[in-house]
Amino acid sequence: MRKLLILTIAIVLPSLLCITPLDAKKPPRKKAYVHTVVEIPAVEPQVIAVQTANSSLVMQVDGKGVLRMCHYGALVQDPSQFLSYSDGYICDNDPGPLAYPSAGGMFTWRPALEVRYADGSCNTELYFTGCEVSGRKTVVHLKDYVTALTVDLVYEAFADEDVIVSHTEIYNGSKQAVTLTGFASSYMVLNAREYLLTHFHGWWAGEMQVDREMLGHDTKVLESRRGVQNTQINNPSFLVSLNTREWSETSGEVVAGALAWSGNWQIALEQPQTGLLNISAGMHPASSAYPLKAGESFITPDMIYTWSGNGAGQASRNLHRYARRHRLYGGSKVNPTLLNSWEGAYFSFKTKTLTDMIDDAADMGLEMFVLDDGWFGSDYPRNGDAAGLGDWEPNLKKIPEGIDYVASYAHSKGLKFGIWIEPEMANPESNLAKQHPEWLVQSPGRENYTRRNQWILDLSNPAVQDFVFGVFDNTMKLSPSIDYIKWDCNRLVMNFGSSYLGEEQERFYIDYIQGLYKVMRRIRERYPDVIVQCCSAGGARVDYGALQWFDEIWASDNSDAICRNYIQYGTSLIYPACIMGAHVSTVPNHQTGNITPLKFRFDVACSGRLGMELQPKTLSPDDRALADRCIRSYKSWRDLVFEGDLYRLASPYDGTHYALMYVSEDKSRAVVFAYCLKYITGLTASPVFKLDGLDPARRYRVTEQNVDASCWWGDGQVFSGEFLAAGGFNPRLNRPLTSAVFYLEAER
């Protein structure tokens, strides 16, 4: 009571006596601060659904214009039932599962969009203003009423493939410039009891290694910050198996996603306390705060999603079909078998070395010869990796007759001809680097570190884009007989900096890749039919953005057939076999020292686009005969590899064998590959592979390829699809590094 009295006197008395504290001079009178809130127009509640044959992506708009994601999963024929759907979490500190959350408003998780405005404020709240549907495209319009920034969410439904592709278009409708500090291509909300994430890690010569983990209540970020070589240590893609702790090829719900972008990327999988899984995927915002002037738009790359109710196998097949039909530059076009000069000759060759290789390639039945690195540079000859990059004139000391002579020689032998370039790079020891230091990616005052003795050119600069286009164009002009270009990219970005971008350095990472795509667009306009391989020290640029322009990828510099099982298995989870260059090389393998049988090496390479990369003269007559035989049989059924549906039968990670098969769309033909990788007693003794994707009612003749004595008791006989799926197929592959290829054809 006494305390209360003292407190009251202390507060009330000074004001009664009008005592002003000595140090608090009254400020001049100001107008009262009035906080006005911009009114958000009410909208008609509605449901927006993006439907494919077997899946639905359903969003809901409430009366205030808040857009939420209610469902991505099994098809709901009548999605209007989601009109009043509630996940039970919406309250005054949780806006519920927003379809494209921005930083601001009630949203305090990881947003899809972050914007810094001219006055320094960073809040954006997006409200629905309309939706348009035309053909397979649905565009949802959102607006921030305070700043007039608008966002269009664009969804494309590929019904037959159960794929939904989304991107976002951000438009600065205000009168002042803004800065985008976060710009996801898409945002996805999944709802399950638990989530098993499958993603990829790797390194040079070990790309697309599979990692699996249960997601916890935190954020798992997959990312690349290397500028280019965006897929060497991970890949902008993943699969999430729902309500399970076990990977299954054939059962359960799986959502798979892949970002079509060849630069820095970020995929964040965030499981907040609600148990939902928020996935935001897009270009990486790190060091890439992007300026957007009044009236300008920013268009994100595509994020590709598929849902499967039948396990991971179906998810991969959906992506593969979508890629072949709608995404890949070359579709499922069959690319030629080839001999590449790299591991057989490296930098040491002269004309005769090449014409001999061409003779041997033709003799073995291969269809193309590719002259790899080392053919160019005169002042700084490319006789190793320390000089010549950037100077793309042929080295006439090595090939005095010129490139056209070698290319025409290949044509005269019935082979196509391909040639290697690495146009984004320059060695310090080159005329290019000395004449155009302003074209190099470098940061003033800082060391320009080399990697593989080379620097990288600044493709954000249009002059450099012209130069890079010119490298391709001029190379094509070396001979009318050039059919194929291998485009390499052997380093990443460090100490980034562009003399062209001036004070807008943070545009660099995005503008570089957009510059690359601009160059590729020009190339494709002029050379629509030339086959272009995307190589980046192996598989360091394997993404669906690059694959819009390139015909195939070099999956890895690791040509060891044992390692290739893992690399090719990982690649197959997201990318179709038709793009995957796979070569037979010599033993001991140059990357690992492993010695594997030639038959094993062929059987592994034949599950992709077959090639050879060795000096054919080192093959014994028996090996040559086997090579002829394998190449001949491959050519007779390779359409299945390029166009068929993939079924993985055994994972190299799970036990002793890796096995897979491709089945024609009409299920009349198939090819099965099986490899024994290690010996673990009884497990290895008699593997059973349950063939998948066949018609149970049809009868198939099963014939082992490339052997005189088969490893299966049923070779050459006819069996029902039902029998083969039930476990009747048990080839005796019980020794490590034994392998088999079986061709199946249905009886008419």
Rule CB under 6 A: say whether 372 interacts with ligand DGJ: yes
Q: To the nearest whole angstrom, how small is the minimum distance from the Cβ of residue 536 to ligand DGJ?
A: 7
Do the beta carbons of residue 393 and residue 375 sit within 8 Å?
Answer: no
DSSP readout, 319-349? HHHHIIIII-TTTTPPPPPEEESHHHHTT--
Do the beta carbons of residue 538 and residue 565 sit within 8 Å?
Answer: no
Backbone angles phi, psi at 417, to 5 degrees: -130, 135
Rule CB under 6 A: say whether 646 interacts with ligand DGJ: no
Q: Residue number with the shortest CB distance to ligand DGJ? A: 373
Q: How far is 540 from 567, CA to CA, in rounded Å?
A: 12
**Pattern 376-415, binding to ligand DGJ, x per CB under 6 A?**
----------------------------------------
CB closer to ligand DGJ, 371 vs 631: 371
Do the beta carbons of residue 374 and residue 401 sit within 8 Å?
Answer: no
Alpha carbon 524 to its chain centroid, in Å, reads 20
Q: How far is residue 341 from each of residues 355, 614, 635, measured CA to CA in Å? A: 11, 7, 21
Q: Where are the alpha helices (DSSP H) in 137-295?
A: none
What 3-state DSSP class applies to 684?
A: helix
Q: How far is 590 from 557, CA to CA, in rounded Å?
A: 10
Stretch that binds ligand DGJ, among 57-65, 116-124, 165-173, 530-538 (CB under 6 A): 530-538
Told to judge if 372 belongs to the known catalytic residues of this protein, a careful annotator would answer no
Rule CB under 6 A: say whether 488 interacts with ligand DGJ: yes
For residue 509, how many other CB atoms are within 10 A of its CB?
25
Asked if omega into 588 is within 30° of 0 (cis), the reply is: yes
Q: To the nearest whole angstrom, how small is the minimum distance from the Cβ of residue 372 to ligand DGJ?
A: 5
Stretch that binds ligand DGJ, among 236-244, 285-293, 532-540, 716-724 (CB under 6 A): 532-540
Do the beta carbons of residue 643 and residue 560 sit within 8 Å?
Answer: no
Rule CB under 6 A: say whether 115 interacts with ligand DGJ: no
Among 100, 109, 342, 392, binds ligand DGJ (CB under 6 A): 342
Rule CB under 6 A: say whether 538 interacts with ligand DGJ: yes
Rule CB under 6 A: say whether 537 interacts with ligand DGJ: yes
Rule CB under 6 A: say whether 554 interacts with ligand DGJ: yes
Size of residue set near ligand DGJ by CB under 6 A: 11
CB closer to ligand DGJ, 253 vs 551: 551
Among 147, 264, 278, 490, binds ligand DGJ (CB under 6 A): 490
Strand partners of residue 152 = 141, 169
Q: To the nearest whole angstrom, how small is the minimum distance from the Cβ of residue 93 to ligand DGJ?
A: 52
Max Cα–Cα distance, the chain, nearest Å: 114
Q: To the nearest whole angstrom, how small is the minimum distance from the Cβ of residue 582 to ligand DGJ?
A: 12
Q: In what order do the strands lie in the sheet containing 67-74?
A: 46-51, 55-61, 67-74
Q: To the nearest whole angstrom, how small is the minimum distance from the Cβ of residue 474 to ligand DGJ?
A: 19
Strand partners of residue 143 = 127, 150
Structure tokens at 52: 């494919």
Q: How far is 595 from 589, CA to CA, in rounded Å?
A: 6
Stretch that binds ligand DGJ, among 247-255, 402-410, 531-539, 628-636 (CB under 6 A): 531-539
The active-site residue out of 152, 360, 483, 488 is 488
Among 155, 420, 469, 658, binds ligand DGJ (CB under 6 A): 420
CB closer to ligand DGJ, 227 vs 538: 538
Q: To the nearest whole angstrom, how small is the minimum distance from the Cβ of residue 211 to ligand DGJ?
A: 23
CB closer to ligand DGJ, 375 vs 729: 375
CB closer to ligand DGJ, 156 vs 557: 557
Query: Which candidate, 604, 611, 551, 601, places its Cα nearest to that of 576?
Result: 551
Stretch that binds ligand DGJ, among 8-16, 534-542, 648-656, 677-685 (CB under 6 A): 534-542
Look at the block and give the residue holding tokens 């989601």.
82
**What count of residues does the chain have?**
748
Do the beta carbons of residue 204 and residue 537 sit within 8 Å?
Answer: yes
CB closer to ligand DGJ, 163 vs 580: 580
CB closer to ligand DGJ, 271 vs 427: 427
Structure tokens at 424: 């984004």
Among 99, 407, 535, 598, binds ligand DGJ (CB under 6 A): 535
CB closer to ligand DGJ, 360 vs 373: 373
Query: Which candidate, 250, 291, 248, 283, places its Cα nearest to that of 264?
Result: 283
Structure tokens at 614: 């060795």
Q: To the nearest whole angstrom, how small is the minimum distance from the Cβ of residue 226 to ligand DGJ?
A: 16
Q: How far is 48 from 52, CA to CA, in rounded Å?
A: 13
CB closer to ligand DGJ, 490 vs 548: 490
Among 557, 603, 645, 704, binds ligand DGJ (CB under 6 A): 557
Q: Say if strands 531-534 and 338-340 run parallel, antiparallel, or are unpaired.
A: unpaired
Q: To the nearest whole angstrom, how small is the minimum distance from the Cβ of residue 59 to ligand DGJ?
A: 43
Which residue type is seen at 579? Answer: I
Among 144, 207, 373, 704, binds ligand DGJ (CB under 6 A): 373
Rule CB under 6 A: say whether 603 interacts with ligand DGJ: no
Query: Which candidate, 182, 208, 201, 169, places its Cα nearest to that of 302?
Result: 169
Rule CB under 6 A: say whether 550 interacts with ligand DGJ: no
Do the beta carbons of residue 491 and residue 437 sit within 8 Å?
Answer: no
CB closer to ligand DGJ, 377 vs 731: 377
Region of residue 567 (left: phi > 0; alpha: psi -120 to 50; beta: else): alpha
- In the window 44-103, what residues touch ligand DGJ (CB under 6 A)? none
CB closer to ligand DGJ, 280 vs 585: 585
Told to judge if 379 belongs to the known catalytic residues of this protein, a careful annotator would answer no
Give the contacts of 120 (CB within 8 A, at least 6 positions apart): none
Look at the block and give the residue holding tokens 């949203």.
107
Q: To the nearest whole angstrom, how small is the minimum distance from the Cβ of residue 561 to ligand DGJ?
A: 16
The active-site residue out of 302, 373, 557, 603 is 557
Q: To the nearest whole angstrom, how small is the minimum distance from the Cβ of residue 202 to ligand DGJ?
A: 14
Q: To the nearest whole angstrom, how small is the minimum distance from the Cβ of residue 486 to ligand DGJ?
A: 6
Q: Which residues are catalytic?
A: 488, 557
Contact footprint for ligand DGJ (CB under 6 A): 342, 372-373, 420, 488, 490, 535, 537-538, 554, 557
